[in-house]
Every structure is written in structure tokens, then in C-alpha cells.
Amino acid sequence: MTDAIAYERIGEIAVLKAQNPPVNALGFDIREGLLAGIERAEKDGVKAVLIYGDGRTYFAGADITEFGKPPRGIFLPDLCARIEASPLVVVSALHGTALGGGLEVALASHYRIAVPSARVGLPEVLIGVMPGAGGTQRLPRLIGVEASVDVITSGRQVGAKEALALGILDRIEEGEPREIGLAYTQELLDSGATRRPVSEMPAPEAVDFDALYDKVLKKGRGLLAPAVAVRGIQACCELPFDAGMKRERELFMELMDTDQRQGMIHAFFSERAVSKLPELKGIAPRALASIGVIGGGTMGAGIATAALLAGLPVVMLEMSDEAAEAAKGRIAGNLQGALKRGKISEAQFTQLTEEALTLATDYDALSDVDLVIEAVFEEMSVKKVVFGKLDAVCKKGAILASNTSYLDVNEIAACTSRPEDVIGLHFFSPAHVMKLLEIVVADKTALDVVATGFALGQRLKKISVRAGVCDGFIGNRILATYRKAADHMVLDGASPYQIDKALTDFGFAMGPFAVADLAGLDIGWAVRKRKRAEGMDPRDRDSEYMDKVCEAGNFGQKTGKGYYVYEAGKRGGTPNPEVTDLIAAERAAKGITPRAFTDDEIVTRYMAAMVNEAAKVVGEGIARRPLDVDMTLLFGYGFPRYRGGPLKWADMEGLDKVLATIKNGAQEDDYFWEPAPLLEKLVAEGRSFDDLNKE
Ligand code: 3H9
């Protein structure tokens, strides 16, 4: 036996306690321990076996860190078969999260009891695979096709109450898993209950699985795993149990071989690693009991909403009573959404809007808050006035944060007497919905201020990424570059609509031009005007055609017209023919003969531009690790999760291939396509971005 499973005999029951913190993942030691435990129990003269987990949970799944490594010890599906085949009555007592392989062990047990707070699920599709230890063969036998398709293709966690109603659980009981498990097992033995293998239960009737497969594939927007899992459920209905298991294994292995599996698992571990910074180890964050928000526009109201929902009282500062009331209206509107979705009650809504939120028009109201986030107009002179006032009124030790999306946080910090307390907290709109938070660390920002930024991010349930100071930080700087690559392709002959389509086919939630319409074309217009006023490098290719659209008052979705024309009540837009004409006119004026682009070429160029800038961002230390860039793009810019992020994608694509695209582009335009030194170095050394993540 391994230490991972403790064996104990209590009367007629052998108790197997899993102890593999933090989540009792079913790694080699646990699998071998369970096997040995079952074998020992069978020789021990007991009548039943109870399996439960020590610590915070029953088994949370197969050990994902073993994926892709040479297999060791008994396979999980074989272990499940062995548990189910035991002549003893096998009971599992669940608490915490019985997920994936964990639920599969429970399904291989003959009876299942759980505490009320337990959650179960088969989330394998969320890491690019599917249940591979009988989940697709046993679950439908217990709960039918429709419910299995829902649980397996969504990967969602099912609460104990629902799991009981569905038939996944046999009983729910308050208490410790060990105690309720022992009592239930004894009760089963006393009542003469016998083994009850799910594999021997009849399979449900088959449905139209081809139609179901197509439906799930479409819903997955490029993610294969849920659709492939449907084929597993199909096998359950159409094949005998053993043949169904074989089919499940084949399908599981097919998915294990995909880039999507690698991308999803990279995302899983990176989203956990991204906010772990070695320099913050042992650094206590400052206390955070209340915050101030300056500016109650869409962004400020979103930040205030997120804070209120996380239980932080907010002082909202606006310029006038009317503006403050308007801000309150926006916050209440956001909270109405949470109310409708059942996230808060009517009483909480009233408490948040009437008690936790304070409106103010005087900076003195901020004198006692622990942290202030300004979300005022994006203009350095305005920010400097705000920070000067904050410096005068805020208490000692209060953190002064800017939500700027590209301005120099060092310059902002320098206009205060306490630059060590100044930090950038860059939220993404709508701030109560979007998961990304860029924590922008200026030269003098104190470490405990950085730690507080991450603590706030955690409290607001954000994915927090550390960024250094530069124009646009991590995300907007990279966006500016790949967006420019798209603009260049438009000038050279591709249409915005072909580009958007090629990129959504690649997996992006939206193409760059549809995104621009959503964000508001006035933003890009202001940036173009600013860059021109600052003096653009003559080698930089400017495009002016959208200026004319903006001059006519068309700013995208909010005005009904931009790259696309939007009709009220209809989702999405149709191409705006005026834009096509303006592009043609600009090409003619610039003497450009348009050429055709294939969708492949569009994706290749767009991705190469993204990867190149991302490599510069990492090389310059603006992002600490490649995974920081990946998480920024995934959580703030609609990058497809199943591709892991741009730098994970680049690793899988081959860095030499990406570099070749960049060098190829440089032959036409060496100003834009200047290779990132880090990318060249990695190619020369035969290393990957992921190697840097592991350093
Ligand atoms: C599967 O089962 C396939 C089978 O069908 C077939 C096989 C043949 N493995 O998330 P947390 C780590 S596929 C290894 O911060 P929480 C995690 O990285 C699997 N490690 O805690 C973190 O490490 P660190 C199906 C794992 O309370 C630490 O544990 N199962 C695994 O917020 C704490 O995790 C899943 O997909 C794992 N399976 O959430 C479940 N799980 O501290 C995946 C976690 O070093 N896991 N770790 O950063 C989860 O959804 C959440 O972790 C869970 C806990 C809800 C369990």
C-alpha cells in the first residue's frame, strides 16, 4: 500500500481514506493505493468497503499533471472496473468536489452518499478531453441520455441536491464524510443490501446521435471535446458495456493527442499560476475595508459594481450631484442584472445600493478609504489633477490606483508625494463582467501595494496579471500591433469582413473590426489623432478611411453604424458598403493595387504580429512570463481558450515557422515586421516559450 490511501478496519467495513492534498487527484499513488486497499479488504473478511477523501474533497479527478507522460501503474478505467467487480459492497462518501475521474470512481462504487455541500461533475471537456474511466458508459445508465449529455458536454458542477434528484447520488446527509459513510454502509449491510454495479444496469435507448453531435459541435465554437464526448454516450446506448468502454478509451485517446487538449490544460494551470509572484511570497497585503471610485461612467460604475458584489463598501466620487445620481443609476442597473440571475436577493440589492454605496462630490469623502481607483477621462493632465487631490486628502497608507489603459503610471505617481502607494489597476469593460485585471507596477510601487492589488483581484474573482509600464501595458500594446497587421491587410486588399470571418473561424470570439464597432470607433479615432499629433514615424503606415466614418458621427454599434450596419433588434451587423468604398478610395489614393488574401494567410499574419509583439513584451519584462501574456489575451481579448494563448499557440505551431512569417513580412515592410529579439533567441536555441514559463 502507498501512504496515499490509509486502510482501517471498523467491524465489517474496510475504510479507505484518500490523503493526497490538496485535491486528492487520482495520481499513481492513489490508484495503486486504492487497488491495494480493495485487495486487502477482500482478504480481510469484511463485507463492505467505504471510500472517502481526507481534507477538502473527495477525488477531484485524474491527476492532470500526468497527462502526456509515460503511463505508470494501473489505468484509472481498469481500477474502476476492479472496484466495481469487487464481491464486497463498495460505498463512496463524497464531499467537496467529486469531479472527472473522481466521480468515475464514485460511479464504479455500488452506492453513493454525499454531504449537502458536495458537488459532482465530469469537467473533462473543460480541459479538452472527455471522461475516460467509464463516465460516458456509467452515467447514462444511471441518469439517461439527455441529462448525461447536459452534464458531460457542459462540464458543469452539479450540486448534491440536483445530483440526488438526477439519480447520481443515493443519499445526502449532513456530517463528516467518514461518519455519514460509515453509518450508511452499516445501514446497507444491516438491510441486506447487495452489490449494485452500474455497468450491469440497462443502457438507455439511442437517440439521433448524429444530429446531437452536430448541435454540440456548433455550440462548442471550435472546441472538439464536447462533441466527441457525445460519441462516447452513443457507444453506451449502442454497444455492450465492455465494447462501450473500449470505444470511450479510443475517443479519449484521440482527444489526448490534440493541440486543443494541450491548450486547455495550459490555460488551466496558467490561470492559477498567473497571480503567483515569487516576490510577493510572505508579503502581507494592506487592509482593504472600503474603496473609493472616481468617475461613475461605464468603467467606474462597473468597478464599483464588482467591489460591491464582493462585499466592499464603495464611495463613488463624481463632479456633480446629477453625475453622481447617474453613476448610481448605472450601478443599480448592473446590480439588477445580478438580481435577475439570482446572484443577489432583493434585500441585498437594497443594502448594496442604499447602504454600501455612498455618493460624493467632494474629495474629502475619500479621506478614510483604503484604496481609491480613478476611472476619469483618459488624459494625463486630468489624471495629474486627480492624483494631486488624492495625495492631499487620502489617509497615510491608502493605495492610489489608476485605471488608465495606456498612460504612464510612473508619471502619474511622480505627481504625488507617495509614489510607493501608486499602482495601475486596469479593468476591462464591463468591469463587473470581464475577468481580466492588469496590475500595473510602476518603478516605485511598494511590494505590499502590489500584493494588495492581487488580493483585491482575488476578492473580485478576477484573473490578475502583473504588467510593467509601457504604452498599453500587456494587452492593449499587443492589441495595437495585431490590429495594425489587420489594417495593413485591409489596405493591401483583404476586406474587414473577410478578416473578421477568418479570425472567428480560427476561434476568436469576435474579429477585430466587429470588436472596434463594439468598443466604439471614437476610441481608435482619438488614438489615431493623438499619435498623429505626437508625430508618427514616416515609415509607419497610417489608414484614414475610418476617420471619415467617424467624422459623420458613426462610432459603431452604439450609433448603429461603423464597419457594420446594425439594425435594432437584430444580433450582429451586415457589412457597411460605405466602408468598402472608402477603403477602395484610400487604396487608389495611396497607389496600392489590391491583392487577394487567403483566410490562412490572414490568420498567419495576424497571429505572427501578435506573437512578435508578445515576445517583445516578455523580452522587455513588461510581462514576466509568456503565460502572463497568454492569460491576458484569453481573459481580456477573446482569444480561444482551446488554443491556450498566443504564445502557447506559437509553441505548438513551431517558433521557427512563426519567425519565418515575420521575416517574410519584413521583406515588404521592415518597420512593422521587426523580429522580437526574444523570439530569435528562442529559435536559435531550439527552446519554447513554455520553457521560459518553467524557469
Ligand atoms: C479526468 O479526470 C480524466 C478521467 O476522466 C479519465 C482519466 C483516464 N490534477 O483549483 P485550485 C491542483 S480529467 C492535478 O486552486 P480550488 C491545482 O493546479 C480531470 N492537479 O483549488 C492547484 O495547484 P496549485 C477532471 C490539480 O479549490 C491545486 O490543485 N477533473 C487537479 O479553487 C488547488 O486547485 C478536473 O478537471 C488535478 N485534477 O478548486 C478538475 N485539480 O495549488 C480540475 C486541481 O499548485 N480541478 N489541481 O496551484 C478543479 O476544477 C479545481 O481545482 C477544483 C478545486 C474545483 C477541484
Ligand 1 center–CA 288 separation, angstroms: 29
- Give yes or no: residues 332 and 377 share one domain: yes
Span 629-654, mean pLDDT?
A: 97
Which atom in ligand 1 lies closest to the alpha carbon of residue 133?
6
* pLDDT at site 456: 98
Instruction: Determine the Cα–Cα distance for residues 33 and 6; give it in Å rounded to an integer.
Output: 8
Determine the residue type at 7: Y
Cβ of 105 below 6 Å from ligand 1: no
> Of 467, 496, 530, which residue is a domain's last?
467
Q: How far is the CA of 562 from the centre of ligand 1 (A)?
A: 44
- Is the CB of 63 inside a 6 Å radius of any atom of ligand 1? yes
Atom of ligand 1 nearest to the CA of 62: 2
Last residue of a domain, one of 423, 442, 467: 467
Which ligand 1 atom sits closest to the C-alpha of 155? Answer: 36
Dist CA 636 CA 682 (whole Å): 26
Torsion of CA 192, 194, 59, 33, to 10 degrees: 100
**Which residues in 491-608 belong to E strands, given as ranges?**
564-565, 574-575
Rounded distance from Cα 327 to ligand 1 centre (Å): 40
Residue 524 has a pLDDT of 85
Which amino acid would we find at residue 184? Y
| DSSP E strand stretches across 164-304 | 171-172, 291-294
Q: Quick one: pLDDT band at residue 569, thresholds 50, 70, 90?
A: confident
The count of domains in the chain is: 3
CA of 447 to the centre of ligand 1 (A): 30
- Across the chain, which distance is largest between two alpha carbons, in Å? 91
Residues 615, 553, single domain; the answer is yes
In the predicted structure, residue 1 carries a pLDDT above the cut 70:
no
Pocket flag, ligand 1, residue 25 (CB < 6 Å): yes
Structural domain of 678: 475-693
Higher-pLDDT residue of 406, 228: 228
Q: Which residues are paired to 438 by β-bridges?
A: 426, 465
Who's near 295: CB < 8 A, 6+ residues apart? 317, 318, 327, 374, 375, 376, 377
Residue 128 CA to ligand 1 center (angstroms) comes to 14
Q: Are 241 and 370 in a shared domain?
A: no
Q: Is residue 481 domain-shared with residue 463, that is, in the same domain?
A: no
232 C-alpha to center of ligand 1: Å?
A: 23
Edge-to-edge strands, sheet with 158-159: 97-99, 119-121, 158-159
Tell me what pLDDT residue 421 has: 98
Residue nearest to atom 47 of ligand 1 (CA): 23
Q: How far does residue 272's CA lie from ligand 1's centre (Å)?
A: 10
Residue nearest to atom 16 of ligand 1 (CA): 23
Integer Cα distance of 565 and 586 in angstroms:
21
Report yes or no on 584 lying in a domain: yes
Burial class of residue 668 in the structure, from the number of CB atoms within 10 Å of its CB (0-12 exposed, 13-18 middle, 19+ buried): exposed
- Kindly report the CATH number assigned to the domain that includes residue 404: 3.40.50.720
Which atom of ligand 1 has the smallest separation from the CA of 56?
Answer: 27
- pLDDT at position 656: 98
Cα(687)–Cα(38) distance, rounded to whole angstroms?
45
Sequence-distant (6+) residues with CB within 8 A of 398 are: 369, 370, 371, 372, 421
Each residue of 504-558: pLDDT tens digit? 999 998 999 999 998 889 888 988 898 899 898 888 898 899 999 999 999 999 8
112: which 3 cell numbers? 453513493
What's the number of CA atoms in the CB half-sphere (13 Å) around residue 160? 18
Cα(543) to centroid of ligand 1, in Å? Answer: 47
Closest CA to ligand 1's atom 6: 132
Asked if 95 and 112 sit in the same domain, the reply is: yes
3-state secondary structure of 440: strand
Which residues face 91 on adjacent strands?
Answer: 50, 111
Q: In a 3-state reduction of DSSP, which class is residue 369?
A: coil
User: Which H/E stretch holds residue 306?
Assistant: helix 298-309
Gap from CA of 25 to ligand 1 centroid (Å): 7
Q: Relative to the CA of 272, which ligand 1 atom is closest?
A: 48
Tell whether ligand 1 has an atom less than 6 A from the beta carbon of residue 265: no
Residues 398 and 508 in one domain: no
DSSP one-letter code for 68: T
Q: Do the beta carbons of residue 478 and residue 629 sit within 8 Å?
A: yes
**Lowest model confidence (mean pLDDT) among 428-432, 569-573, 597-601, 663-667:** 569-573
The atom of ligand 1 lying closest to the CA of 60 is 56
Q: Are strands 158-159 and 399-402 parallel, antiparallel or unpaired?
A: unpaired
Q: Is 602 exposed, middle or buried (0-12, 13-18, 19+ CB in 10 A)?
A: buried
SS3 state at 112: strand
What CATH code is carried by the domain that includes residue 149?
A: 3.90.226.10
Instruction: Name the residue at shortest CA distance from atom 33 of ligand 1.
Output: 22
Question: Could you tell me if 135 and 45 lie in one domain?
Answer: yes
Q: Is the CB of 132 inside a 6 Å radius of any atom of ligand 1? A: yes
Our answer on whether the CB atom of 22 is closer than 6 Å to any ligand 1 atom is yes
Is there an atom of ligand 1 within 6 Å of 121 CB?
Answer: no
Ligand 1 atom with the shortest distance to the CA of 130? 5
Q: Average pLDDT of 479-495?
A: 96
pLDDT for the residue numbered 587: 96
Phi, psi of 49 (to 5 degrees): -125, 135
Mutate which of 29, 30, 34, 64 for ligand 1 pocket (most atoms within 8 A of beta carbon): 64
Q: Which atom of ligand 1 is nearest to the CA of 268?
A: 18
Q: Does the CB atom of residue 65 touch ligand 1 within 6 A? A: yes
Q: Any idea what the CATH number is for the domain that residue 656 is in?
A: 1.10.1040.50
Ligand 1 in reach of 461 Cβ (< 6 A): no
Q: Is the CB of 71 under 6 A from ligand 1?
A: no
Check pocket membership of 100 for ligand 1, CB cut-off 6 A: yes
Q: What angle do CA 347, 352, 356 make, to 5 degrees?
A: 130
Beta bridge partners of 359: 316
Which residue from 458, 6, 416 is spatially nearest to 277, judged by alpha carbons? 458
Residue 128 CB less than 6 A away from ligand 1:
no
Q: Is 481 domain-assigned?
A: yes
CA 255 to centroid of ligand 1, rounded, Å:
19
In a domain, 616, yes or no: yes
CA of residue 188 to ligand 1 center, whole Å: 32
What local confidence, expressed as pLDDT, does residue 523 receive? 82
The CB of 530 under 6 Å from ligand 1? The reply is no
- pLDDT tens digit sequence for 578-614: 999 999 999 999 999 999 999 999 999 999 999 999 9
101 within ligand 1 shell (Cβ under 6 A): yes
Ligand 1 pocket residue status of 106, Cβ below 6 Å? no
Give the mutation target among 20, 23, 694 for probing the ligand 1 site: most ligand atoms within 8 A of CB: 23
Of 257, 280, 307, the last residue of a domain is 257
**Arithmetic mean of pLDDT, 173-200:** 98
Whether 267 maps to a domain, the answer reads no
Q: Please indicate, yes or no, whether residues 41 and 64 belong to a single structural domain of this protein.
A: yes
Q: Is 300 in the pocket of ligand 1 (CB under 6 A)?
A: no
| Catalytic residue annotation | 104, 124
Residue nearest to atom 28 of ligand 1 (CA): 22
Q: Are residues 346 and 491 in the same domain?
A: no
- Specify if 273 maps to a domain: no
User: From atom 7 of ligand 1, which residue's Cα is the shortest distance away?
Assistant: 132
Question: Is the confidence at residue 2, as pLDDT, over 70?
Answer: no
Secondary structure of residue 159 in the 3-state scheme: strand
Residue 474: closest CA among 298, 626, 606: 626
Q: Do 140 and 233 meet the contact criterion of CB atoms below 8 Å apart?
A: yes
If asked whether residues 242 and 339 sit together in one domain, one would say no
Taken as a whole, the chain contains a residue count of 695
Q: Are 457 and 436 in contact (CB under 8 A)?
A: no
Residue 569 C-alpha from the chain's centroid: 30
Task: Reduce the DSSP state of residue 26 to 3 states and report it.
Answer: strand
Q: For residues 49 and 83, what is the distance between their CA atoms, to the nearest angstrom?
A: 10
Residue 275 lies inside a defined structural domain of this protein: no
515 domain-assigned: yes
133 C-beta closer than 6 A to ligand 1? yes
Q: Are residues 531 and 449 in the same domain?
A: no
DSSP summary character for residue 2: -
**Ligand 1 centroid to residue 22 C-alpha, Å:** 9
Q: Is the CB of 275 under 6 A from ligand 1?
A: no
What single-letter DSSP state applies at residue 352?
A: I
Predicted confidence (pLDDT) per residue in 57-110, tens digit: 999 999 999 998 898 999 999 999 999 999 999 999 999 999 999 999 999 999
- The CA distance from 678 to 510, in Å, is 29
Instruction: Render the burial of 214-230: b for 16+ CB within 10 Å, e for the rest.
Output: eebbeebebbbbbbbbb
Run of H or E including 52:
strand 48-53
Query: Which one-letter amino acid corresponds to residue 90?
Result: V
Q: What is the DSSP letter of 508?
A: -
279 has pLDDT over 90: yes
CA of 155 to the centre of ligand 1 (A): 13
Residue 554: Cβ within 10 Å count: 22
Q: pLDDT tens digits, residue range 394-426?
A: 999 999 999 999 899 999 999 999 999 999 999
Interior/surface letters 57-79, b for 16+ CB within 10 angstroms, e for the rest:
bbbbbbbbebeeeeeebbebbeb
- Nearest Cα residue to atom 46 of ligand 1: 60
Cα–Cα nearest to 294, from 307, 305, 303: 303
- 188 and 62 share a domain? yes
Question: How does the average pLDDT of the chain come out, rounded?
Answer: 96
pLDDT at 447: 98
CA 640 to chain centre: 10
Q: What is the pLDDT of residues 322-369, one digit of tens each?
A: 999 999 999 999 999 999 999 999 999 999 999 999 999 999 999 999
In a domain, 127, yes or no: yes
400: phi then psi, degrees, rounded to nearest 5: -110, 110
Which residue is listed with cell 487538449? 261
